[in-house]
């Protein structure tokens, strides 16, 4: 084998590098198709789907690499959404809705982009502090602790009325998210997720997921890598939460509780937690199913007859689908595989004859 030839290892690395590129192209094609041919409703659906890609790919950075299921990531979205509301809402609005805000926040009137970045940073900071405690626990116990964290954030947000508005909604957020904004964040998240997965920390974390014995021999390292993944992951979920607020224009704590947790988990499980491509495919598949079911809940006319599913059947069917996937295709639709270009496309001419 000559030195100029690409080694198998390099081929694999190049193939891995094509994954975020291909996923980004997939999402781009999705946005282009919808803006070209779809109506306003489909454009809204596209934005929403891309926000979910941001959330779920962010979630995957932790869950996919560590193998630990977190129930707490919706809480990061919650924190992100409120940080963005605190920094972007008109001061007059804040004076009535959120009278308890400190002066610095009460007077702030930021643009949405820096606000979403700060929202991500705030979520990441919270993840760093709480993760330092939670991630010391073993896998299952850590999952339970993340659930406690979710409930804790929800309890605080639902009762800290002067600052969060309590259970009533905060309204008037600038509706800034278009499919293109969503695409930008989704692609940025995918890039960060694949960079992390290819980093030394990501590799070590996945190795520890696959080999518990080897992992327990280096328990301290595993803890540090978990914490790193948790923090990065929280950043994107925080930003994704901010985007959710600036998509609907209205936020309240219950929008970031069990249903969002469930949706994020369902997407990850359906697509397959083992790969980033799985996370993206899961978002697309479940979003499509949700869209169809929501339309059916509103009522569908078939030959003069209108029939509608009762509200709530969307969750019932998705939960049932999720259980079926776990039983019959436990690794998800993509079964841990990444979408990549074929090997001969990335090796150049010389290796094509191998």
**List of residues contacting another protein (CB under 8 A):** 67-69, 71, 130, 133-134, 136-141, 143-145, 147-149, 151-152, 155-156, 159-160, 258-259, 262, 265-266, 269, 310-313, 315-316, 319-320, 322-323, 326-327, 330
Three-point CA angle 87, 283, 179, nearest 5°:
50
Using alpha carbons, list the distances in angstroms from residue 246 to 81, 175, 290, 339.
8, 5, 21, 31
Whose tokens are 């009535």? That residue is 96
Q: Would you say 90 or 316 has its CB closer to another protein?
A: 316
Q: Would you say 57 or 69 has its CB closer to another protein?
A: 69
Nearest-approach distance from CB 321 to another protein, in angstroms: 9
Q: Which residues contact 144 (CB under 8 A, 6 or more apart)?
A: 137
Query: DSSP character for 125?
Result: H
Q: Would you say 35 or 169 has its CB closer to another protein?
A: 169
Structure tokens at 241: 């939460």
Q: Would you say 162 or 348 has its CB closer to another protein?
A: 162
Nearest-approach distance from CB 220 to another protein, in angstroms: 13
Q: Would you say 91 or 100 has its CB closer to another protein?
A: 100
Nearest-approach distance from CB 235 to another protein, in angstroms: 21
Q: Which residues contact 184 (CB under 8 A, 6 or more apart)?
A: none
Please compute Rg for the chain using Cα positions.
21
Nearest-approach distance from CB 354 to another protein, in angstroms: 22
Q: Would you say 237 or 265 has its CB closer to another protein?
A: 265
Q: Which residues contact 351 (CB under 8 A, 6 or more apart)?
A: 5, 6, 11, 343, 344
Query: DSSP character for 302?
Result: E
Nearest-approach distance from CB 91 to another protein, in angstroms: 26
Report d(CA 23, CA 68) in Å as an integer: 24
Structure tokens at 166: 């309590």
Nearest-approach distance from CB 147 to another protein, in angstroms: 6
């Amino acid at each position: 084998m000559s030195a100029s030839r690409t080694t198998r290892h390099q081929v694999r690395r190049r193939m891995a590098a094509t994954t975020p590129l291909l996923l980004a192209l997939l999402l781009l094609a999705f946005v282009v198709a919808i803006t070209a041919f779809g109506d306003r409703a489909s454009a809204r659906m596209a934005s929403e789907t891309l926000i979910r890609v941001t959330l779920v790919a962010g979630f995957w950075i932790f869950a996919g690499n560590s193998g630990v299921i977190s129930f707490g990531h919706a809480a990061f979205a919650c924190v992100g959404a409120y940080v963005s509301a605190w920094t972007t809402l008109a001061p007059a609005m804040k004076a009535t809705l959120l009278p308890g805000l400190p002066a610095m926040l009460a007077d702030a009137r930021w643009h949405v982009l820096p606000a979403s970045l700060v929202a991500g940073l705030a979520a990441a900071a919270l993840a760093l502090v709480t993760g330092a405690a939670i991630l010391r626990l073993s896998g299952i116990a850590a999952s339970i602790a993340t659930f406690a964290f979710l409930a804790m954030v929800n309890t605080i947000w639902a009762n800290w009325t002067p600052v969060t508005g309590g259970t009533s909604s905060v309204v008037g957020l600038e509706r800034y998210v278009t499919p293109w904004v969503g695409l930008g964040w989704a692609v940025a998240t995918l890039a960060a997720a694949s960079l992390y997965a290819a980093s030394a920390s990501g590799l070590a974390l996945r190795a520890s997921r696959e080999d518990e014995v080897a992992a327990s021999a280096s328990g301290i390292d595993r803890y540090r890598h978990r914490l790193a993944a948790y923090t990065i992951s929280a950043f994107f979920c925080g930003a994704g939460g901010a985007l959710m607020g600036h998509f609907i224009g209205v936020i309240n704590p219950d929008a970031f509780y069990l249903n969002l947790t469930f949706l994020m988990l369902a997407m990850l499980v359906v697509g397959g937690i083992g790969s980033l491509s799985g996370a993206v495919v899961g978002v697309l598949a479940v979003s499509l199913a949700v869209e169809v079911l929501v339309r059916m809940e509103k009522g569908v006319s078939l030959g003069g007859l209108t029939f509608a599913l009762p509200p709530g059947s969307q969750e019932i069917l998705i939960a049932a689908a999720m259980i079926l996937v776990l039983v019959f295709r436990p690794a998800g639709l993509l079964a841990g595989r990444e979408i990549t270009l074929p090997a001969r496309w990335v090796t150049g001419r010389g290796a094509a004859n191998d």
